[in-house]
Amino acid sequence: MAVLVTGGAGFVGRHVVGLLLERGYEAVVVDNLYSPGSAGAAMRLRWLGARVVWGDVSRWETLLHAVGEAGLGRGDVEAVVHLAAVVGVEEAWGRPRLALEVNVEGTLNVLELARLLDAERIVYASSAAVYGEPRYLPIDENHPLEPVSLYGWSKLAGETLLWQYQRAYGLRPAALRLFNVYGPGMRPGPYAGVVYRFIEALLRGEPPVVYGDGEQTRDLVYVGDVAEAMLRAVEAGYTGPANIGTGRETSINQLYRMLCSLLGGGCPEPLHKPPRPGDVRRSVASIRLAEEKLGWKPRTGLEQGLRETIKYYRGRVEP
């Protein structure tokens, strides 16, 4: 039986699929190859042994065609890992209609597909953005769900669909609320995350942009650890939400200083711009539930993860 991964050629997806193959799973990737670098990732995943088919989760007909092309029928899929999404606060505001089509309608389509294939286990990539501005730290899974961004709202809507399908059809969903994921393969472009933007600017010798005063904090979790969490969730019996972070809080200014040090120092002062709408002030996860229910905890420290990420992008970032 196979594990079906939507968005499997994206940043997190390619790491998840690689790990599934490494652990002996049959992996089927459905991806619309929208994200920068996803076409190349799809070729590498095929070479590693994954079945990769084109499909857009927001279009039901293309999903049906994709599973048919992959030769999948009822009973052939043991789990679905749903990663396909418009990711991030900034891109969701920039492309609101697309964000809702993919993150909400797309999730509905994936749940219908899982029901059609009789695949009870669903692992959904949710987000810490569902919590909004934290009332207390660290944030646990009982924290009120009060998203302050369209992205957070769309992910919460996806979670709501999961729980409805659990009650109505007996699906066994787990929603992994990812905090700030970084590592090799992060996408470039105008909606890139802060770690990529800093590394790209520093490798080019340019001052990066910091929104606000830089004292806002994030819980930065390495993509390899996130992939391991996804695999643990596929194998575990737990249903419900679980935070995937490190439990360590890092300010944007601290992150910049660390990257400067790892790149040899002598870095320019960043350019400060006004805070962006929907950005929370502080964020750090309680990961106790993931430790207890999934048997997972992060293994990659921030400095080690940043070293690996810098090594990956040296020679890939154009001057």
**Domain assignment present for 239:** yes
- Catalytic residue (choose from 151, 165, 191, 222): 151
In this structure, what CATH number is given to the domain that contains residue 67? 3.40.50.720
pLDDT over 90 at 295, yes or no = yes
State the Cα–Cα distance between residues 121 and 202, nearest whole angstrom.
42
Identify whether 272 is part of a domain.
no
Of 52, 163, 183, whose CA–CA distance to 111 is shortest? Answer: 163
Q: Note if 312 is an active site residue.
A: no
Q: Is residue 123 part of a domain?
A: yes
Confidence category of residue 317, pLDDT binned at 50, 70, 90? confident
Question: Is the pLDDT at 17 greater than 90, yes or no?
Answer: yes
- Average pLDDT, integer, range 190-195: 89
Mean pLDDT of 209-218: 96
Residue 230 within a domain: yes
Per-residue pLDDT for 318 more than 70? no
Once rounded to an integer, what is the mean pLDDT over residues 114-131?
Answer: 98
| Each residue's pLDDT tens digit, 164-178 | 999 999 999 999 999
Assigned domain for 273 exists: no
| pLDDT in the model for residue 288 | 99
317, part of any domain: no
The model's pLDDT over 27-64, given as tens digits with 9 standing for 90+, comes to: 999 999 988 889 999 999 999 999 999 999 999 999 99
User: What is the span of the domain harbouring residue 129?
Assistant: 2-179+223-245+285-294
Count up the domains in the chain and report the number: 1
In a domain? residue 289? yes
Q: For residue 232, is it within any domain?
A: yes
State the Cα angle at 54 between 52 and 57, rounded to 5°.
115
